[in-house]
Structure 1
Amino acid sequence: MTAYRYLAGAAALAGLVAAGAIVATTASAQTEPAPPAGAVTRLAHEPTAADFTAAAREFAVPEPLLLAYSYALTRWQDHAGLPSAQGGYGPMHLTSPDAVAPSGRGGGRPDTVTTRLRSDPARNTLARAAGLVGQPASRLRTDLTQNVRGGAALLADEARRAGIRPGTLADWYPVVARLSGASGTTTLADDIFDTLRAGATDARLRLAAQPGTAAPRRLAVAGAGQAECPTDLTCTFVPAAYAWNNTADANDYGNYDPANRPADGNKIRYIVIHDTEGSFDGTVQWFQNPAAYTSAHYVIRSSDGAVTQMVRTKDVAWHAGNWNINAESIGIEHEGVAVDGATWYTDAMYRSSAKLVRYLSARYRIPLDRQHILGHDDVANDGNYTTSHWDPGPFWDWDRYFSLLRGGVEAQTAGKLVTIRPKFATNRPPLRYCDSSGCRDLPAQPTNAVLLRTEPRDDAPLLPDAQLGGGATNDIADWSDKAVAGRGYAVAGRTGDWTAIWYGGQKAWLHTADVRPAAGTTVRPKPGAQVPVFAAALPEPSEWPAGTPAGQPSTPPTMKAVYTISGDQRYQLADLQRAEYYYARFDDANVPLNHTMVVGAASYYRISFNHRYMYVRSSDVTVD
């Protein structure tokens, strides 16, 4: 969810509820038993090459196409017989309306996925495939050979229904486009053919690249209008409000700041992934209200992945709750509620978002890695650290998302760092959701985060954090003791099947099976130094030019250390950041030096500190 320009204000939150953009936060009772404390289920199941070869031969479907179709949908994973959030089973993602994942909280899950499956029999591909191969649907859910047969039969049957007799791989594109429409996405066919041309591989299966496959005829896209989007993505432009709320106050306006990035010195370095904490329509309406004091550059709808741009990428949206990050990032909202995440985060949404991020990455040269493609939960609130947000939450599948962004998970290299990488589908730690009415257990479900402990054993206490009032709970919103997929940390120790990482000034223990070795650069405190750790990298008050700032606050913002580090602690270095502040007030206020980049003399390193990226002065640390 986006945050107010400087702080996540209670008034803005109340307005969002009134506008219908936030769904009520009453938790539901647990709908299935959670595993015992500390237990994590780890299962993996894949089809074999023989399954694809036999099915391709039986139904006269090219084997490379069958492999690419499965890889694009599931990365060849069966997920231990469990359905996806969109109700899909097995490596061919055969969909059933009865399999849509349960809501974690109740009352917040969109009905669009289930309604779409039930209202259109063509979208119930599990039943259709079962009929084609003469097997009960229950068997196709769990028998990988029959599941692959079912997928091949669907492709062959779709070609027959369309009256198409494909002679080459490229001839199958309209068949795949018709069938992928049954999954509720218009971009899947393009992804499948991109996979065909690039190839794919994992430990057991290999799809050789088909570089000679002719570029398919892309699906027509309507409504691109003025939006800054790739040409093959459905986009519209609806401007967020830019208006004064109080003409007596140059700082009381909404909902973004005009700029000229990157030409004005605000380099666009990051993309921040959010969820809306409510409906798509309510969010779009709220960003058009200047009293919201919040905005994002893009909003993506859950049901079909449609994109609405609301702030030009050259301008500064108010989305991250951290002014350094706002000034140098693009914010993308995804319709959903973090505690119910998997039921909102649809295949269509993931694919549209990945296509948009690839476009923005190429345009602004933003690296496609977790140091630059951030969750809102990676960003520290620089006004009130304890109110830092935690969306898109633990049910956002970062590994799947980066597979769509890069065509595969990046190679791992041994080094002094590790990357958090649990098996998303089967990583199901016991989690709770707490609000003013109390705490309730959540259904066991795929999770991107692992719990951190004070000692290398499953019954050890969870990691505390005094800055957060103690922490050390399995509350989904308590980020003191949870490390998220894709984030990198320095190794602090190893024993048995446990690894310790430096996390927020402490040694934090987790299962070695949940990390992968990684290369990279670390920083460590200089000998004898107590190094302050900050939520932002700002110029000193004495470095501000005369005449700023105008309006409220009446003095330049200052930094206060949130933590200190010392001794042999080490942290992953993400990038070098100069001390800077983009000074902006409402244009019609005619304040002096409006839209000025204030730059300080000090430089800072942005480091992977705990659940958040934080800043240390470069002069205080040594780079290894």
Structure 2
Amino acid sequence: MNPRRTRTAAALAVSLVLTVPLAAGPAQAVSQSPLSEAFARAGAAYDVPGDVLAALAYSQTHLDGHDGKPSASGGYGIMHLVSNPVTRTLEKAAELTGEPVAALRTNDAVNVHGGAALLRSHADELGLSVVARKDPAAWYPAVAAYTHASSPEVARLFAEGVYEVLGRGVRAKAPSGEVVVIAPRFLRPERGGYEKVPDPRSDFGAASVDYPSAHWVPASSNSYSVANRPVSSAIDRIVIHVAQGYYAGTISWFQNPNRPSNQLVSSHYVVRSSDGDITQMVREKDIAYHVYNLNSRSVGIEHEGFVSDATWFTDAMYRSSAALTRNIADRYGIPKDRAHIVAHSEVPGNDHTDPGPYWDWNRYMQYVTGGTGPAPGKYWVDTFADAPGYATPGGTRTGTLLRGTNYVYCRTWGPIVQSGNSFNHWWLKTDLDSGNPWQNQWVSAYYLSRWGNDEAKDNNGNDIPDCM
């Protein structure tokens, strides 16, 4: 059975994270939660649910305004207010709020108010009533409109991501150090006309021709060159990018034909942060515009996120992207090494820095060369109470994991376990102390005492790898 180590009584305490209510409250002389209060105040000012605003912001930027610097598509601040030749939501927010464009770019609270004003304007255009505005589920069409997507499918892709955040909840740390908590809540989104749009989680686009696990959503035809590779030219490099933007926004940007000539860029694939979902946008035989002088001989893979923020680089993203890279390398005979799988920043003649200092090349190349199973070894965790074990996450009860220090093998995303404001979606694969069967069963990471809400880390604070 499982080895055990003794623990002190103090170590059995549950570490709880207090949720900052997303509702307007009395002002404080020195605010300890300015961002949470900004969501609450903007929501109250524009009659927008504060948690919808926060989920929308988290989906796009992980609450990081990047010091006023724009995303690849020209989006500013944590609400991603866009200013480019195609979309002018930054300027629209200035018109709606009366705030200067400069403040909307750089001031988080002002940026949140701008996002709330935009979202409310979409709700008004859609005829959302006073009563409906109180229901977060009714805001789905307005959230979809917020992104100004290139197609209804991409708009739904964006909205689904926001409502997934609302469903699972989030505990996120802003660059200021403030922790913003969006408590999980069950919602049945009122999609309106988007109910008839293909579901991006199942049948968004046709299956990719080159990599069947990907969706096929073609980039604008002026963003790549038709070719006949590898007959016309050999493919001997795979280039790793970070998009400086979010998944649906990157797809939409690559699809838009009305960009300036110096922004007619694309990549063969785009990978999502939260779950590793992959969209193919350019056939591998064709030449995507992603890396200047290496375009004709390479395949480009964009990853959702920003180079300055490590939170985008999830284990699910690494594993999914690595499986794609391994598949491409096998099909074209590309060596699986760092001389042939390269960073955008490593290609001569480029001024980009992606994927940046937080991209874990050691982990990524281990997954490329060593398969997609859990990393070897056992991961020690502290459990504050006896934990029920299940045959599947949340499934049939099979036995009990006794409280103490236990080992687990890996984790997976599953049904929520919640008590008050403490909650967790992660489930840990382990061996139980009692039950039949007792091996390779599942317990909720809610029973971790060391790491608290919605995290699954070992006793050293390292992420426990996902099960595949």
- Which structure dedicates a bigger proportion of its chain to helix? 2
* Bigger Cα Rg: 1
TM-score, with normalisation over the residues of structure 1?
A: 0.36
Q: TM-score, normalised by structure 2?
A: 0.46
